[in-house]
Amino acid sequence: MPSVVERFVERNASAPGTAPRSVRLEQAGEMQLKPGRWLPFVASHEASVERVEFSWRATFRLGPVVRVQVRDFYEHGDGGLVVRLWGLVPVMRGVGPAFAKGEAMRYLAELPWVPHAIRANDQLEWRELDAHTVEVATLLSSERAVVQLQFDAAGDVVASSAPARPRMEGKRTVERAFGSRFHDYAEIDGVRVPTAAEAFWELPEGRFPYFRARVTGVHID
């Protein structure tokens, strides 16, 4: 493991030998699918410490009485997206190899929220690119998912990125450059995590921010 990563774990996670099974974050934020229409949500994000697995469950308010529940996940080598109106009526379901790759990359990109996994997850592969940049990867069924993490001078992860991550556009998936930003680190329930983040796609017409959220709680299981 690169030394900059080791220092990050020492600063943000509990001592060796005390790794939990999972870390669950409570979030409040907004997402947009089209420019200018941000939709508020509350979410619970649970990520495994020992395996590349996570489940993100969010509830979006589309109006005074309309609620949409979304589940974004990567589990047992499969990933996907399930959207239900009021949690009952199916609206959208996305599965398949492209979705699995995209969701595995999400786990890698959000490792700053699960610092225990950096030490305990043996499904992660690390490579130092320079003094402030590392590459983290995991093996999928047919290829590797790879993301870069960027560290600031203080040793905190402030960004993650990938030149090609699957994105749904209409009825097809297209690989687009992707990035996220992390800031406002704070200690919550014994773990130090960034409490704010944004994510964006680099599209032909320019950068498209689609996700921004704040962490409202951390639970160690």
**HEC-encoded secondary structure of 36-95:** CCEEEEEEEEEEECCCCCEEEEEEEECCCCCEEEEEEEEECCEEEEEEEECCCEEEEEEE
Q: What is the pLDDT of residues 116-128, one digit of tens each?
A: 999 999 999 999 9
Burial of 175 from C-beta contacts in 10 A (0-12 / 13-18 / 19+) = middle
Range of the domain at 163: 3-22+43-220
pLDDT of 17 reads 62
Look at residue 29 and tell me if it is in a domain.
no
Q: What is the pLDDT of residues 170-208, one digit of tens each?
A: 888 999 999 999 999 999 988 999 999 999 999 999 999
Q: Which helix (H) or strand (E) holds 107?
A: helix 97-109
What percent of the chain shows pLDDT beyond 70? 97
Look at residue 128 and tell me if it is in a domain.
yes
Which stretches of the chain are assigned E, i.e. beta strand? 22-32, 38-48, 54-61, 67-75, 78-85, 89-95, 125-130, 133-139, 144-151, 157-169, 172-188, 191-203, 206-220
Enter the pTM of the model.
0.94
Look at residue 33 and tell me if it is in a domain.
no
Q: What is the pLDDT of residues 105-153, one digit of tens each?
A: 999 999 999 999 999 999 999 999 999 999 999 999 878 999 999 999 9
Contact 164, 175 (CB under 8 A): yes
Query: In the chain, how many domains are there?
Result: 1
pLDDT of 16 reads 60
Q: What is the mean pLDDT of the chain?
A: 93
Structure tokens at 64: 């005074």
Look at residue 160 and tell me if it is in a domain.
yes
Cα–Cα distance, 67 to 163 (Å, whole number) = 34
Look at residue 36 and tell me if it is in a domain.
no
What percent of the chain shows pLDDT beyond 90? 78
Residue whose C-alpha is closest to residue 52's, from 129, 144, 160: 144
pLDDT of 93 reads 75
Look at residue 28 and tell me if it is in a domain.
no
Cα–Cα distance, 67 to 23 (Å, whole number) = 26
Say which residue the tokens 């040793």 belong to: 155
Look at residue 123 and tell me if it is in a domain.
yes
Q: What is the pLDDT of residues 31-57, one digit of tens each?
A: 998 888 899 999 999 999 999 999 999
Look at residue 56 and tell me if it is in a domain.
yes
Res. 214: pLDDT tops 90: yes
